[in-house]
Amino acid sequence: MLRSPKSVLLLSGPNLDILGEREPEVYGQQTLEEHVSAARLAAAGRGLTLDHLQSNAEHVLVEAIHEARGSYGAIIINPAAFTHYSWAIHDALAAFDGPVVEVHLSNPAGREQWRRTSVVSPVATGTIAGFGREGYRLAVEAVAAILDT
Protein backbone atom coordinates (compact mmCIF):
# COMPACT_ATOMS: atom_id res chain seq x y z
CA MET A 1 0.00 0.00 0.00
CA LEU A 2 1.33 3.45 -0.91
CA ARG A 3 1.57 5.92 1.92
CA SER A 4 -1.38 8.28 2.09
CA PRO A 5 -0.51 11.36 4.17
CA LYS A 6 -4.23 11.92 4.80
CA SER A 7 -4.86 8.52 6.36
CA VAL A 8 -4.96 7.89 10.08
CA LEU A 9 -4.61 4.62 11.95
CA LEU A 10 -6.54 4.56 15.23
CA LEU A 11 -5.35 1.88 17.65
CA SER A 12 -7.14 0.77 20.81
CA GLY A 13 -5.47 -1.31 23.48
CA PRO A 14 -6.66 -3.91 25.98
CA ASN A 15 -10.07 -3.85 27.65
CA LEU A 16 -11.30 -1.00 25.45
CA ASP A 17 -13.47 -3.56 23.63
CA ILE A 18 -15.66 -3.66 26.74
CA LEU A 19 -16.11 0.10 27.07
CA GLY A 20 -19.67 0.94 28.03
CA GLU A 21 -19.75 -1.98 30.48
CA ARG A 22 -16.34 -1.40 32.02
CA GLU A 23 -16.21 0.99 35.01
CA PRO A 24 -18.65 3.44 33.38
CA GLU A 25 -18.10 5.90 36.24
CA VAL A 26 -14.47 6.20 35.05
CA TYR A 27 -14.69 5.58 31.30
CA GLY A 28 -18.25 6.65 30.47
CA GLN A 29 -21.24 4.89 28.96
CA GLN A 30 -20.07 5.00 25.35
CA THR A 31 -18.96 1.86 23.57
CA LEU A 32 -15.72 1.71 21.61
CA GLU A 33 -17.80 1.61 18.45
CA GLU A 34 -19.34 4.96 19.40
CA HIS A 35 -15.92 6.51 20.02
CA VAL A 36 -14.67 5.18 16.68
CA SER A 37 -17.75 6.57 14.91
CA ALA A 38 -17.09 9.99 16.44
CA ALA A 39 -13.47 9.76 15.28
CA ARG A 40 -14.52 8.73 11.76
CA LEU A 41 -16.98 11.62 11.54
CA ALA A 42 -14.35 14.11 12.67
CA ALA A 43 -11.84 12.61 10.22
CA ALA A 44 -14.27 12.85 7.30
CA GLY A 45 -14.92 16.48 8.22
CA ARG A 46 -11.19 17.16 7.93
CA GLY A 47 -10.68 15.21 4.70
CA LEU A 48 -8.94 12.30 6.43
CA THR A 49 -9.61 8.58 6.18
CA LEU A 50 -9.46 6.55 9.36
CA ASP A 51 -8.94 2.84 9.99
CA HIS A 52 -9.36 1.30 13.41
CA LEU A 53 -7.91 -1.75 15.13
CA GLN A 54 -8.53 -2.89 18.70
CA SER A 55 -6.51 -5.65 20.31
CA ASN A 56 -5.93 -7.04 23.75
CA ALA A 57 -2.56 -8.40 22.55
CA GLU A 58 0.59 -6.30 22.65
CA HIS A 59 2.21 -8.00 19.66
CA VAL A 60 -0.82 -7.31 17.45
CA LEU A 61 -0.55 -3.59 18.22
CA VAL A 62 3.23 -3.64 17.65
CA GLU A 63 2.76 -5.33 14.27
CA ALA A 64 0.03 -2.85 13.29
CA ILE A 65 2.40 0.02 14.08
CA HIS A 66 5.09 -1.61 11.93
CA GLU A 67 2.63 -1.97 9.07
CA ALA A 68 1.58 1.66 9.47
CA ARG A 69 5.09 2.73 8.49
CA GLY A 70 4.89 3.78 4.87
CA SER A 71 1.08 3.39 4.79
CA TYR A 72 -0.48 5.90 7.19
CA GLY A 73 0.15 9.59 7.68
CA ALA A 74 -0.53 9.56 11.42
CA ILE A 75 -1.36 7.28 14.34
CA ILE A 76 -3.83 7.92 17.15
CA ILE A 77 -3.42 5.40 19.96
CA ASN A 78 -5.15 4.68 23.22
CA PRO A 79 -2.69 2.10 24.52
CA ALA A 80 -4.89 1.54 27.62
CA ALA A 81 -2.92 -0.36 30.31
CA PHE A 82 0.02 -0.81 27.90
CA THR A 83 0.54 2.95 28.29
CA HIS A 84 2.19 2.33 31.60
CA TYR A 85 4.70 -0.41 30.79
CA SER A 86 4.91 -1.41 27.13
CA TRP A 87 8.37 -0.53 25.96
CA ALA A 88 7.60 -2.65 22.89
CA ILE A 89 4.88 -0.19 21.88
CA HIS A 90 7.19 2.71 22.76
CA ASP A 91 9.90 1.34 20.46
CA ALA A 92 7.48 0.58 17.61
CA LEU A 93 6.04 4.13 17.75
CA ALA A 94 9.55 5.58 17.85
CA ALA A 95 10.12 3.95 14.45
CA PHE A 96 6.96 5.52 12.95
CA ASP A 97 7.82 8.66 11.03
CA GLY A 98 4.55 10.64 11.31
CA PRO A 99 2.62 12.33 14.09
CA VAL A 100 1.44 10.17 16.99
CA VAL A 101 -1.38 11.33 19.26
CA GLU A 102 -1.85 9.47 22.54
CA VAL A 103 -5.44 9.56 23.77
CA HIS A 104 -7.06 8.57 27.06
CA LEU A 105 -10.67 8.84 28.09
CA SER A 106 -9.78 9.40 31.73
CA ASN A 107 -6.96 11.58 33.02
CA PRO A 108 -4.31 9.10 34.18
CA ALA A 109 -2.29 11.94 35.75
CA GLY A 110 -5.03 12.36 38.35
CA ARG A 111 -5.45 8.66 39.14
CA GLU A 112 -3.40 5.94 40.86
CA GLN A 113 0.35 6.49 41.03
CA TRP A 114 1.09 3.63 38.63
CA ARG A 115 -1.05 5.26 35.93
CA ARG A 116 0.93 8.50 36.14
CA THR A 117 3.80 7.05 34.13
CA SER A 118 3.34 6.80 30.38
CA VAL A 119 6.09 5.10 28.41
CA VAL A 120 4.24 6.17 25.25
CA SER A 121 4.27 9.93 25.92
CA PRO A 122 8.01 10.34 25.18
CA VAL A 123 7.42 9.17 21.60
CA ALA A 124 4.04 10.86 21.09
CA THR A 125 3.64 14.23 19.43
CA GLY A 126 1.12 15.06 22.15
CA THR A 127 -1.53 13.65 24.45
CA ILE A 128 -5.28 14.21 24.83
CA ALA A 129 -6.47 12.96 28.21
CA GLY A 130 -9.42 13.43 30.51
CA PHE A 131 -12.00 14.65 28.00
CA GLY A 132 -14.08 11.48 28.02
CA ARG A 133 -16.39 11.17 25.05
CA GLU A 134 -14.82 14.22 23.37
CA GLY A 135 -11.34 12.66 23.44
CA TYR A 136 -11.35 10.77 20.15
CA ARG A 137 -12.78 13.73 18.23
CA LEU A 138 -10.16 16.03 19.79
CA ALA A 139 -7.40 13.57 18.89
CA VAL A 140 -8.52 13.64 15.25
CA GLU A 141 -8.62 17.45 15.31
CA ALA A 142 -5.07 17.47 16.70
CA VAL A 143 -3.86 15.16 13.94
CA ALA A 144 -5.63 17.22 11.27
CA ALA A 145 -4.03 20.41 12.58
CA ILE A 146 -0.57 18.83 12.55
CA LEU A 147 -0.99 17.32 9.06
CA ASP A 148 -2.19 20.70 7.74
CA THR A 149 0.95 22.52 8.84
- Binding track, positions 30-69, relative to ligand DQA; x by CB under 6 A: ----------------------------------------
Which amino acid is present at 58?
E
* Residue 118 β-bridge partners: none
Candidate list 27, 52, 90, 136, residue with the active-site label: 27
Contact between 105 and 27 under an 8 Å Cβ cutoff? The reply is yes
Q: Does 115 bind ligand DQA (CB under 6 A)?
A: yes
Q: Does 104 bind ligand DQA (CB under 6 A)?
A: yes
Please tell me the distance from the alpha carbon of residue 101 to that of residue 139, in angstroms, as a whole number: 6
Our answer to whether residue 72 is catalytic in this structure is no
Ramachandran angles phi, psi of 12, nearest 5°: -125, 130
Pick the piece of the chain touching ligand DQA (CB under 6 A) from 37-45, 52-60, 76-84, 137-145: 76-84
Our answer to whether residue 136 is catalytic in this structure is no
By C-beta, is 43 or 80 nearer to ligand DQA? Answer: 80
Candidate list 35, 52, 90, 104, residue with the active-site label: 104
Catalog residues that contact ligand DQA under the rule CB under 6 A: 15, 78, 80-81, 83, 104-106, 108, 115
